Copies of this chain bind each other. A is one copy, B any other.
Amino acid sequence: MTENNTSIREKGLEAKEAGRRLAALPYETRQNALKEIERQLRADEDKLLAANAEDLAQAEKEGLSAPLLKRLRFDDHKLADVTAGIDSLTGLENPVGRLQMRTELDEGLILDRISVPLGVLGIIFESRPDAFVQISTLALKSGNAVMLKGGREALRTNRALFESIKEGGKKAGLPDGWIQNLESREEVTEMLALDDCIDLIIPRGSNAFVRYIMDHSRIPVMGHADGICHTYIDKDADLDKAVKIAVDGKTQYPAVCNATETLLVHQDIAEDFLPAFKKALSEKHTELRGDETVQKIIDVKPADDQDWKTEYLDYILSVKVVPDEQSAIDHINRYGSGHTDAIVTENTEAAGLFTAGVDSACVFVNASTRFSDGYRFGFGAEVGISTSKLHARGPVGLEGLCTYKYILHGNGDIVADYADGKKQFTHKKIAVK
A403 close to chain B: CB less than 8 A: yes
A427 close to chain B: CB less than 8 A: yes
Closest to A420 in B: B252
A371 close to chain B: CB less than 8 A: yes
Closest to A351 in B: B409
Considering the chains assembled together, what is the distance between the CA atoms of A240 and B412 in angstroms? 8
The answer to whether B368 touches A413, judged by C-beta atoms less than 8 angstroms apart, is yes
Q: Given known contacts A414-B245, A415-B371, A427-B378, is B406 in contact with A363 (CB within 8 Å)?
A: yes
A275 close to chain B: CB less than 8 A: no
The answer to whether A377 touches B103, judged by C-beta atoms less than 8 angstroms apart, is yes
**Which residues in chain A, 356-387, are within 8 Å of chain B measured between CB atoms?**
356-357, 359-368, 370-372, 376-378
Considering the chains assembled together, what is the distance between the CA atoms of A364 and B220 in angstroms? 27
A24 close to chain B: CB less than 8 A: yes
| One of B218, B378, B414 near A105 (C-beta < 8 A) | B378
| One of B367, B377, B427 near A410 (C-beta < 8 A) | B367
Considering the chains assembled together, what is the distance between the CA atoms of A368 and B415 in angstroms? 7
A390 close to chain B: CB less than 8 A: yes
Interface on chain A toward B: helix, strand, loop, or mixed SS? Answer: mixed
Residues of chain B lying within 8 A (CB to CB) of residue A365: 407-410
Q: Given known contacts A407-B363, A425-B378, is B252 in contact with A414 (CB within 8 Å)?
A: yes
Residues of chain B lying within 8 A (CB to CB) of residue A215: 218
The answer to whether B414 touches A370, judged by C-beta atoms less than 8 angstroms apart, is yes
The answer to whether B23 touches A356, judged by C-beta atoms less than 8 angstroms apart, is yes
The answer to whether B367 touches A413, judged by C-beta atoms less than 8 angstroms apart, is yes
The answer to whether A245 touches B408, judged by C-beta atoms less than 8 angstroms apart, is no
Residues of chain B lying within 8 A (CB to CB) of residue A393: 403-405
Residues of chain B lying within 8 A (CB to CB) of residue A248: 414-416
A18 close to chain B: CB less than 8 A: no
A9 close to chain B: CB less than 8 A: no
Considering the chains assembled together, what is the distance between the CA atoms of A22 and B199 in angstroms? 33
Q: How far in angstroms is the closest Cβ of chain B from A422?
A: 12
Residues of chain B lying within 8 A (CB to CB) of residue A418: 376
A109 close to chain B: CB less than 8 A: yes
Closest to A342 in B: B408
**Which residues in chain A, 4-34, are within 8 Å of chain B measured between CB atoms?**
20, 23-24
Q: How far in angstroms is the closest Cβ of chain B from A70?
A: 20
The answer to whether A378 touches B103, judged by C-beta atoms less than 8 angstroms apart, is yes
The answer to whether A389 touches B118, judged by C-beta atoms less than 8 angstroms apart, is yes
The answer to whether A24 touches B391, judged by C-beta atoms less than 8 angstroms apart, is no
Q: How far in angstroms is the closest Cβ of chain B from A127?
A: 24
- Ordered by A's residue number, 6 sampled pairs between the chains whose C-beta atoms are within 8 Å are A103-B377, A220-B388, A241-B411, A252-B414, A351-B409, A366-B413
Apart from A248-B414, A355-B407, A389-B403, 13 more pairs, CB < 8 Å: A20-B333, A20-B357, A118-B389, A119-B359, A238-B412, A252-B416, A252-B419, A364-B410, A366-B409, A366-B413, A367-B413, A378-B429, A390-B403
9 nearest A-B pairs in the assembled complex, by CB-CB distance: A367-B410, A241-B412, A248-B414, A378-B427, A370-B415, A389-B403, A390-B391, A364-B408, A367-B413
